[in-house]
């Protein structure tokens, strides 16, 4: 079974090979080829396939009852030079879990569905497929989205991924949703744990600050006559690290700095700083954001500069269902796998599924905490442990048929 999982993940990882990694943007030729591979695996596992207007692939395994459903799944699209596990483990692993159920003659009371979501990585818009699936975006709005790489329109390209017969949107009620994923961080490996029981998906605030000073000559302008925007920008970056450490589990990064005109012998006229702030506690995140912006104003004023602010992204924290978490814990305990409860610091389609149902996530370790890179890796035996926990959790949530 481990070999089967390894074989499928490697096969999917061979589609869209690019510069030592994978590049499989949504609705590209590589993505279309990968979709065909996934559909074949679903059919071979005895699943009935439905495809909606966003090109989400839904593989259905019937239960004793016709509804509500228990769903699982993830995505298969990948950014430039990424690895073979992000998202794909949640799709291939779910198919493997179903194959194991088939081999063990396990029936469930409730039907199951594996969802391969379109465009989680945002070639057109982040989480496009799950947003459509959960009604957060209309077909008309989605079909106008532009490809960030080449400007093509979603509505024009999606035709390649749609069969003759499509459903408008999945219409059945969903009782639970659970997603298997690599951690994409170093915690499980550092703590030598086999499973992460996700307590929730952190909220995100992307804050853009633009400091405006006075561009002038670096040699001829006296130090006491300068309005240098790099000074308040630097002080704000340092202050961010200081303020974030006041809050448990919060992280903050100044990953974007644009200096204009960016010439060594010129005092810049403008510095733009992008801040990424993440926490499971919304109120803490907003307090930290307020503190950073207030200090940025003071730093700018002291240097005789101006500063403006804008929020580029605002996602609120999404707690996991205690009920689903408990099922995952008990599954890991039954299988004698070590685990810890931990937050997800990256976004996932599950955060949109939480709008319509109770959700949970299972993490498996990432080597060195590396993700979104060719070096992304999870040992296949560890990945399979996640699949086993997923399988047992799905059976528990859907109810084993008698």
Q: Where are the chain's structural domains?
A: 2-202+317-398, 203-315
Predicted local distance difference test score (pLDDT) of residue 400: 83
Q: Tell me which H or E stretch contains 319.
A: strand 318-319
What's the pLDDT score for residue 239? Answer: 97
Question: Which is the CATH superfamily of the domain at 2-202+317-398?
Answer: Zn peptidases (3.40.630.10)
What mean pLDDT do residues 56-60 have? Answer: 98
CA nearest to 230, candidates 312, 307, 294, 289: 307
Residue 58 CB contacts under 8 Å (≥ 6 apart), including other chains: 49, 50, 51, 52, 113, 114, 115, 116, 170
Residue with tokens 């204009």: 260
Question: For residue 123, what pLDDT is reported?
Answer: 97
* 104-134 residue pLDDT tens: 999 999 999 999 999 999 999 999 999 999 9
On the question of a cis peptide bond just before residue 312, with omega within 30 degrees of 0, the verdict is: no
Token digits for 377? 């890796």
Residue 401: band (very low, low, confident or very high) from pLDDT cuts 50, 70, 90? low
Q: In sequence order, what are the residues at sequence separation of 6 or more whose Cβ sits closer than 8 angstroms to the Cβ of residue 241?
A: 252
Span 203-315: which CATH code?
3.30.70.360
| 177-192 per-position pLDDT tens digit | 999 999 999 999 999 9
2-202+317-398 and 203-315: identical CATH topology? no
Confidence of residue 313 (pLDDT cuts 50, 70, 90): confident
- Would you say 293 and 252 are in contact if contact means Cβ atoms under 8 Å apart? no
What residues contact 185, with CB distance under 8 A and at least 6 apart? 345, 346, 366, 369, 371
HEC letters along 363-389: EECCHHHCCCCCCCCCCHHHHHHHHHH
| Integer Cα distance of 168 and 186 in angstroms | 40
Distance CA 343, CA 336 (A): 22
Structure tokens at 145: 């989205």
Terminal C-alpha separation, the chain: 26
Average of pLDDT values for 214-222?
Answer: 97
Average pLDDT, integer, range 258-285: 97
Mean pLDDT of 162-173: 95
Share of the chain above pLDDT 70, in %: 100
Tokens 């998906």, residue? Answer: 201
| pLDDT classification of 290: cutoffs 50, 70, 90 | very high
Neighbour count for residue 46 (Cβ, 10 Å): 14
Average pLDDT, the chain: 97
pLDDT above 90: residue 377: yes
**Cβ neighbours for 245, distance < 8 A, ≥ 6 positions apart:** none
Q: What is the DSSP string of 23-91?
A: EE-TTSHHHHHHHHHHHHHHHHTTPEEEEBTT--EEEEE--SSS-SEEEEEEE--EEEEE-S-TTHHHH
């Amino acid at each position: 079974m481990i070999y089967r999982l390894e074989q499928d993940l490697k096969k999917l990882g061979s589609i869209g090979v690019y510069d030592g990694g994978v590049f499989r943007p949504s609705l590209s030729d590589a993505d279309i080829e990968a979709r065909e591979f996934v559909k074949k695996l679903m059919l071979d596992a005895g699943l009935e396939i439905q495809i909606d207007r966003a090109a989400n692939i839904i593989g259905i395994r019937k239960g004793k009852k016709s509804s509500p459903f228990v769903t699982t799944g993830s995505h298969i699209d990948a950014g430039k030079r990424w690895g073979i596990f992000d998202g794909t483990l949640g799709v291939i692993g779910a198919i493997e879990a179903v194959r194991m159920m088939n081999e063990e003659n396990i029936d469930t009371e409730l039907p199951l569905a594996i969802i391969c979501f379109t465009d989680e990585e945002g070639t057109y818009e982040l989480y496009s497929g799950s947003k459509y699936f959960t009604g957060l975006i209309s077909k008309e709005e989605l079909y106008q989205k532009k490809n960030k790489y080449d400007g093509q329109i979603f509505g024009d390209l999606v035709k390649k991924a749609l069969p003759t017969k499509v459903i408008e949107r999945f219409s059945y009620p969903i009782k639970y949703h659970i997603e298997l994923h690599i951690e994409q961080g170093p915690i499980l490996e550092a703590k030598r744990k086999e499973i992460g029981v996700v307590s929730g998906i952190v909220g995100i605030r992307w804050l853009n600050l633009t400091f405006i000073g006075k561009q002038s000559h670096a040699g001829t302008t006296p130090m006491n006559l300068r309005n240098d925007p790099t000074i308040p920008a630097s002080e704000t970056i340092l202050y961010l690290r200081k303020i974030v450490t006041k809050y448990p589990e919060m992280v903050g990064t100044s990953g974007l700095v644009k200096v204009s005109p960016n010439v060594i012998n010129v005092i810049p006229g403008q510095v733009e700083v992008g801040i990424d702030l993440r926490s499971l506690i919304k109120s803490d995140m907003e307090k930290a954001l307020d503190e950073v912006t207030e200090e940025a104003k003071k730093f700018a004023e002291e240097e005789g500069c101006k500063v403006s602010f804008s929020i580029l992204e605002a996602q609120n924290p999404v707690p996991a269902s205690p009920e689903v978490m408990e099922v995952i814990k008990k599954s890991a305990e039954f299988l004698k796998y070590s685990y810890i409860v931990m937050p997800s610091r990256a976004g996932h389609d599950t955060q949109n599924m939480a709008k319509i149902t109770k959700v949970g996530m299972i993490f498996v370790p990432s080597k060195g905490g590396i993700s979104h890179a060719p070096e992304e890796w999870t040992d296949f035996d560890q990945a399979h442990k996640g699949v086993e926990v997923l399988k047992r959790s799905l059976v528990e949530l859907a109810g084993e048929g008698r």
